[in-house]
């Protein structure tokens, strides 16, 4: 099983790599299009803003590589947001692998944005990606933008309004939370992703 972490400059790259290592998974870190295209599983981590994130993927020549992948792809945090058609953050076009637009989380009295800290998952549907992750599992978030709760949403969370926390459509999946910082439930999601379809 060849697992590749896309080296798109995300600050969580090292911690995701370490989390996979704890699971016994030797992942390669690469920005090389041919190596990413040849992988069995691809993970796109990300921290930061959509505009610079997409600019980095374009600079590496990886936009079409990721769009054409025929193996499972998991986006994490910003990496998940980049899977969508566009983001309100900077008005940027994204990878277009999932339908919809990422939007800024609405502010409200007593509600802090960005959303930072532990929050509960609310399962929307059963999925192999959520195997062993119970309803109400607590996971760790850091984000100010979010994806809609729609047909791709496997689990949501609530911060003022409901937002997509785990998504999947075919081979394309995403976690808005940081599995590498979410203890056993985050580890389980990573393991489920690696094992799916194998």
Position 182 scores a pLDDT of: 97
- Position 198 scores a pLDDT of 52
Q: What pLDDT does residue 99 have? A: 97
Residues 22-43: pLDDT tens digits? Answer: 999 999 999 999 999 999 999 9
- Distance of alpha carbon 41 from alpha carbon 30, whole angstroms: 13
Residue 48 has pLDDT above 90, yes or no: no
The per-residue pLDDT for range 88-136, each reduced to its tens digit, is 999 999 999 999 999 999 988 889 999 999 999 999 999 999 999 999 9
The model's pLDDT over 143-181, given as tens digits with 9 standing for 90+, comes to 999 999 999 999 999 999 999 999 999 999 999 999 999
**pLDDT score recorded for residue 46:** 87
Residue 142 pLDDT > 90, yes or no?
yes
pLDDT at res. 13 = 87
Structure tokens, 117? 């800290």
SS3 label, residue 124: coil
Query: In which band, very low, low, confident or very high, does the pLDDT at 67 lie, cut at 50, 70 and 90?
Result: very high
Domains plus CATH for the chain? 3-195 (3.40.50.880)
Tell me how long the chain is: 198
- The 3-state DSSP class for residue 138 equals strand
pLDDT grade, residue 197 (50/70/90)? low
The CA distance from 39 to 71, in Å, is 7
Active site residues: 77, 178, 180
Instruction: Name the token pair of 50.
Output: 């959509």
Q: Is the pLDDT of residue 58 over 70?
A: yes
Q: What are the residue ranges of helices labelled H in the chain?
A: 13-22, 33-37, 50-59, 63-68, 78-81, 183-195
């Amino acid at each position: 099983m060849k697992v590749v972490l896309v080296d798109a400059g995300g600050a969580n790259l090292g911690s995701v790599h370490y989390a996979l290592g704890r699971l016994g998974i030797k992942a390669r870190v690469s920005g090389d299009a041919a190596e990413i295209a040849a992988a069995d599983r691809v993970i796109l981590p990300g921290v930061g803003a959509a505009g610079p994130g997409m600019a980095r993927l374009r600079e590496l020549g990886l936009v079409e590589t990721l769009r054409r992948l025929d193996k499972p792809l998991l986006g994490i945090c910003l990496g998940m947001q980049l899977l969508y058609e566009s983001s309100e953050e900077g008005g940027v076009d994204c990878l277009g692998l999932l339908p919809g637009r990422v939007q800024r989380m609405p502010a409200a009295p007593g509600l802090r944005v960005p959303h930072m800290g532990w929050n509960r998952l609310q399962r929307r549907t059963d999925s192999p990606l959520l195997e062993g992750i119970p309803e109400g599992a607590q996971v760790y978030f850091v984000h100010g933008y979010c994806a809609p709760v729609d047909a791709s949403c496997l689990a949501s969370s609530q911060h003022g309004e409901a937002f997509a926390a785990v998504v999947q459509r075919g081979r394309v999946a995403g976690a808005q939370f940081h599995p590498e910082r979410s203890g056993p439930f985050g580890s389980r999601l990573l393991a489920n992703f690696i094992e799916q379809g194998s």
